[in-house]
Amino acid sequence: MTTLAILTAAGSGTRLGRDLPKALVELGGFPLVLHAARRLAASRVVDAIVVTAPPGLAAAMSDVVTADAHVSCPVRVVDGGPTRQASVAAGLALARPEDDVVIVHDAARPLASPDLVRRVLDAVRAGHPAVVPGMPVTDTIKRVSPVPVGAVRTAPGPAVERVVETPDRATLRAVQTPQGFDRALLERAHAAGADRAVADNLAATDDAGLVEALGEPVHVVAGEESALKITTERDLAVARMLLEEPA
Ligand code: CTP
Ligand code: MG
């Protein structure tokens, strides 16, 4: 019984807008993907890591992650796919026969702590086959739908959407990675959702979504602020601040 971590790093980082992929952008002197790999290894519950690389960058990614003394477990690198979902599927294809649990984590969340990795894994090993970290939300969240083109407008003004619903905030969670899965369930979920992996507008934005689509239960453990996702320069600035905070 071993645990494989798939570390997604094949995205281009369009919204960050640098001239290199987001996973290779540095935070405090080290690439995001290395921060994430070090913390996965430091959890001591991950036996091996598969990193998904952007097109043409498998060797560069490998140089960054496999040569680092703090990444103490074996690391392999695989070419990612056109969507995050496709990249995870490519990583999953490299699972070894002995891997019975798979953790999927984003290099875009470089500061997710070893404690969080352990919390997710402990919940999986305790019998929950799909586990995600979740944070309470502070904003009121509304579901909206587009206003049909040509709908009557009383006066010219800014573009609007129509509010459909306001879910009770106490029941909402903002979900993070690492997410943990029984390996057979994750494989079944990816196989069933494979048609969606071709394009961003169809693909699942997280792996738990594919499990939910099977009708299988997904459970939430407490997330953490440091597992924030780096999307923009502002997120990088926040991460830099977190990194400098005394432990
Ligand atoms: N990812 C991946 N393969 C893809 C797309 C994304 O492995 N084809 C990974 C990213 O490297 C990242 C995670 O999935 O670690 C979450 O994706 P996101 O934050 O959207 O990163 P990017 O796709 O790189 O950023 P952007 O959408 O701004 O281009
Ligand atoms: Mg993306």
Three-state helix/strand/coil letters over 6-72: EEECCCCCCCCCCCCCHHHCEECCEEHHHHHHHHHHHCCCCCEEEEEECCCCHHHHHHHHHCCCCCC
In the predicted structure, residue 154 carries a pLDDT above the cut 90: no
Smallest CA-to-CA distance from 103 within 52, 34, 46 is with 46
Mean per-residue pLDDT, 112-129? 98
Which ligand is nearest the CA of 13, by number? 1
Ligand 1 pocket, residue 7 CB under 6 Å: no
Mean per-residue pLDDT, 240-244? 96
Which ligand is nearest the CA of 233, by number? 1
In the predicted structure, residue 144 carries a pLDDT above the cut 70: yes
Q: For every residue of 209-245, which 3-state class applies, written as one string?
A: HHHHHCCCCCEEEECCHHHCCCCCHHHHHHHHHHHHC
How far does the centroid of ligand 2 lie from the alpha carbon of residue 221, in Å? 24
How does pLDDT run across 217-229, given as a tens digit for each residue? 999 999 999 999 9
- Whole-number Å distance between alpha carbons of 77 and 94: 10
Q: Which amino acid is at 235?
A: D
The tally of domains found in the chain comes to: 1
In the predicted structure, residue 140 carries a pLDDT above the cut 80: yes
Q: With contact defined as beta carbons under 8 Å apart, do 49 and 95 qualify? A: no
Band of pLDDT at residue 135, cut at 50, 70 and 90: very high
Q: With contact defined as beta carbons under 8 Å apart, do 37 and 114 qualify? A: no
Ligand 1 pocket, residue 82 CB under 6 Å: yes
Q: What is the pLDDT of residue 147?
A: 84
How does pLDDT run across 43-87, given as a tens digit for each residue? 999 999 999 999 999 999 999 999 999 999 999 999 999 999 999
The CATH number covering residue 55 comes to 3.90.550.10
| Ligand 1 nearest atom to the CA of residue 229, by list position | 19
Ligand 1 pocket, residue 31 CB under 6 Å: no
Q: What is the pLDDT of residue 65?
A: 97
Residue-number span of the structural domain to which 17 is assigned: 2-244
Stated pTM of the model: 0.97
| Ligand 1 nearest atom to the CA of residue 88, by list position | 7
Smallest CA-to-CA distance from 186 within 110, 98, 85 is with 85
Ligand 1 pocket, residue 183 CB under 6 Å: no
Q: What is the pLDDT of residue 148?
A: 77
How far does the centroid of ligand 2 lie from the alpha carbon of residue 12, in Å? 7
Q: How far is CA 87 from CA 125, 204, 230, in A?
A: 25, 11, 18
Band of pLDDT at residue 156, cut at 50, 70 and 90: confident
Cα 3 to its chain centre, rounded Å, is 17
Q: What is the pLDDT of residue 209?
A: 98
Mean per-residue pLDDT, 169-178? 98
State the average pLDDT for the chain: 96
Ligand 1 pocket, residue 87 CB under 6 Å: yes
In the predicted structure, residue 153 carries a pLDDT above the cut 80: no
Which ligand is nearest the CA of 230, by number? 1
Cis (ω within 30 of 0) for the bond into 158?
Answer: no
Nearest 5 degrees, angle CA 237-CA 91-CA 202?
75
* 153 or 170, which is more confident: 170
What would the two tokens of residue 120 be?
A: 């997710």
In the predicted structure, residue 95 carries a pLDDT above the cut 90: yes
Q: How far is CA 109 from CA 34, 35, 128, 231, in A?
A: 11, 9, 23, 9
In the predicted structure, residue 25 carries a pLDDT above the cut 90: yes
Q: Whose CA is nearest to atom 6 of ligand 1?
A: 11
Mean per-residue pLDDT, 176-195? 98
Decide: residue 138, CB within 10 A, 0-12 exposed, 13-18 middle, 19+ buried: exposed
| Ligand 1 nearest atom to the CA of residue 54, by list position | 3
